[in-house]
Amino acid sequence: MSLLEQLASWAAGLSFDDIPLSVVTQAKSQILSQLAAVRAGTTNPAGKAIITSFGSPLQPNPKSSAYVLAALSMCLDFDDTAFAGHLSHSCVNVPLAYTHYLQLDGKTLLTAVITANECAARITAAATLGYHRGQTASHTHLVGSVAGRLSAQRAAASYWVNAWGIALSMPNWVLMPGFLGSDAKLFTAATPVRAGLDAVDAALAGLHGLSNIVEIEDGFLQQFADVPLPEMLTKGLGTRWHTQTISFKIYPGCAYLDSAIDCAVAVHAELAERFSPVELAESVTSIKIHASIFTVGMDEESRSFVKGPSSPLSALNFSTGYSVATALAYGTLSPVDFLPEQIDDPVRWILAGKVQLILDLDLTEKSLLATAPLGEALREGGTSAAEWLTSKGGEIGSKLAAKLERPSSDFTRATKSIGARLEVELDDGTLLEKSCEAAKGSVGTNSPAQQWALMVEKFLITGGHEDTTRAIENLEYLSPSQTAAEVEKALQIVEQ
């Protein structure tokens, strides 16, 4: 059997009763978080333009709904991350889009989300040691959209294989200049979501895809991975749950910034009684952020596209300066901070101009050895991955490669440790320091109850109803009509 045939055989047979309670609990937080991300997108001018162009997510055609949902949740980069990939744009949005159309009850919706997670994360992990990672790994959504829909439809495994075979024959190749420098980023997930759903329609109509497109010579992995990890597609099916590796965002923007923002929020709390935002901008002489290679590298890629108030939204979501300055001046970073009037605020740009990023080798080591975003792939890749790390990081990469241990047998202790240390100096000589080894919301830092509470708060700040949070918390008990009603209620804002 090919890799896709093995994965499809497992996924098509997965039922709600096969899934551990801890995984179901994680998926509920994921669904609520994704609903918040969509709602946040609708409040931004970019999201409003999406709705004007392509309509509301609540459309009779579920394929169109899934497309709009994916674009809206991409809008402010407010989605969550896992090992491996940004799963929710397809793995949550597609089942949500088909909830009413297929009359899904709560158990079926949860099963579809989790099944899609497990399939999409595996294909992403198999190619993660390569050019496309994070949001640019749009092939995640070719796999996730197929799995989310076919799980919901309870389709036979052969349809999964054919749909994946078709979709993965034409994967998207994202160009970083357009991703960071324009509004093209909004469609990074929506385009492959639509392509994946088209592939499902083709497969259901009897068309065939290449079942071994992942591992065949000149196939998907050979084209997309520097170090292919084909074994990750099928490793630990039913025991190693990638859904357990999800880290949740409490701030809109790139996850590599979250620890630095946490530190800035803490410093703000110490300064707020002494300074107004304007006074703070005048009093701060320097802002130093010691961070890992992930934060530093991301900032270097996005910096040339950050041009003050005229910066594209996509670049702002990746801007360390703008995000940290906002949190330092106002005590938070929320969807409101990406509206035009806030982006025009001179206080933010004065403070952003004082931000200096410094590569920290200790934080880099911790981030690279954690489960996500790369550690588990590096461990899985063994000698080849160690050589890849050395080629990318020179002597530093070589030292880190020597510390790689054996792969994890499961993900019950998964971690994501992209930390930061913030130093803010004032003109009177005062130096304030805060450090954070892992961002609030990162996997491994919170209990399930704490995680859920964070996602409830995230949903509520986007204007969501508290009764919706209670419904999602008890999703497995909802009938098809109740499930559809709660999804509609959660997305009501886009109809206003």
Q: Who contacts 200 (Cβ-Cβ below 8 Å, separation ≥6)?
A: 145, 146, 149, 150, 159, 163
Tell me what pLDDT residue 493 has. Answer: 61
Q: Which residue has the tokens 């197929």?
A: 146
345 and 461 assigned to the same domain = no
Tell me what pLDDT residue 8 has. Answer: 98
- Cβ(156)–Cβ(12) under 8 Å? yes
Domain assignment present for residue 395? The answer is no
Buried b (16+ CB within 10 A) or exposed e, 193-229: bbbbbebbebbeeeeebbbbbbbeeebbbeebbbbbb
Percentage, residues of the chain above pLDDT 70: 99
Segment (H or E) for 285:
strand 284-291
214 and 184 assigned to the same domain = yes
Q: State how far the Cα of 59 lies from the Cα of 143, in Å rounded to an integer.
A: 23
Q: Please compute the mean of the pLDDT values over residues 224-253 and round it to a whole number.
A: 96
Q: 308-337 pLDDT, tens per residue?
A: 999 999 999 999 999 999 999 999 999 999
Tell me what pLDDT residue 496 has. Answer: 44
Residues making up the chain, counted from first to last: 496
193 and 94 assigned to the same domain = yes
239 and 272 assigned to the same domain = no
Domain assignment present for residue 393? The answer is no
Please report which residue ranges of 127-189 form alpha helices under DSSP H. Answer: 139-153, 157-167, 176-181
Identify the band that residue 494 occupies on the pLDDT scale cut at 50, 70 and 90: very low
Q: Which residue segment(s) compose the domain that 267 sits in?
A: 255-360+418-436
Q: State how far the Cα of 439 lies from the Cα of 262, in Å rounded to an integer.
A: 7
Say yes or no to pLDDT of 390 above 90: no
Domain assignment present for residue 398? The answer is no
Domain assignment present for residue 368? The answer is no
Identify the band that residue 385 occupies on the pLDDT scale cut at 50, 70 and 90: confident
Q: Please compute the mean of the pLDDT values over residues 84-99 and round it to a whole number.
A: 97
Any idea of the CA torsion for 261, 265, 266, 268, to the nearest 10 degrees? 130
Name the nearest CA neighbour of 225 among 137, 295, 116: 137
Residue at which a domain ends, from 407, 436, 465: 436
139 and 261 assigned to the same domain = no
Q: 19-61 pLDDT, tens per residue?
A: 999 999 999 999 999 999 999 999 999 999 999 999 999 899 9
Domain assignment present for residue 473? The answer is yes
303 and 431 assigned to the same domain = yes
Which amino acid is present at 367? S
Q: Please compute the mean of the pLDDT values over residues 343-372 and round it to a whole number.
A: 95
Q: State how far the Cα of 378 lies from the Cα of 360, in Å rounded to an integer.
A: 20
68 and 116 assigned to the same domain = yes
Say yes or no to pLDDT of 190 above 60: yes
Domain assignment present for residue 408? The answer is no
Q: Give the CATH number for residue 323.
A: 3.30.1330.120
Say yes or no to pLDDT of 394 above 80: no
Q: Which residue has the tokens 């901008």?
A: 281
Identify the band that residue 402 occupies on the pLDDT scale cut at 50, 70 and 90: confident
Domain assignment present for residue 404? The answer is no
- Cβ(204)–Cβ(101) under 8 Å? no
Q: Give the CATH number for residue 486.
A: 1.10.4100.10
Q: State how far the Cα of 324 lies from the Cα of 315, in Å rounded to an integer.
A: 14
Domain assignment present for residue 246? The answer is yes
Give SS3 for 356: strand
Name the nearest CA neighbour of 331 among 389, 387, 280, 402: 280
Residue at which a domain ends, from 436, 462, 477: 436
Total structural domains within the chain = 2
Instruction: Give the number of other CB atoms < 10 A from CB of residue 235.
Output: 16
Chain CA centroid to CA 182, Å: 19
141 and 92 assigned to the same domain = yes
Say yes or no to pLDDT of 10 above 50: yes
Say yes or no to pLDDT of 89 above 50: yes
131 and 52 assigned to the same domain = yes
234 and 273 assigned to the same domain = no
Say yes or no to pLDDT of 495 above 50: no
Q: 286-314 pLDDT, tens per residue?
A: 999 999 999 999 999 999 999 999 999 99
Q: State how far the Cα of 400 lies from the Cα of 150, in Å rounded to an integer.
A: 41
Name the nearest CA neighbour of 39 among 315, 335, 455: 335
Residue at which a domain ends, from 393, 408, 436: 436
198 and 261 assigned to the same domain = no
CB-count exposure of residue 231 (10 Å: 0-12, 13-18, 19+): middle
267 and 180 assigned to the same domain = no
Quote the mean pLDDT of the chain.
95
Q: State how far the Cα of 402 lies from the Cα of 134, in Å rounded to an integer.
A: 25
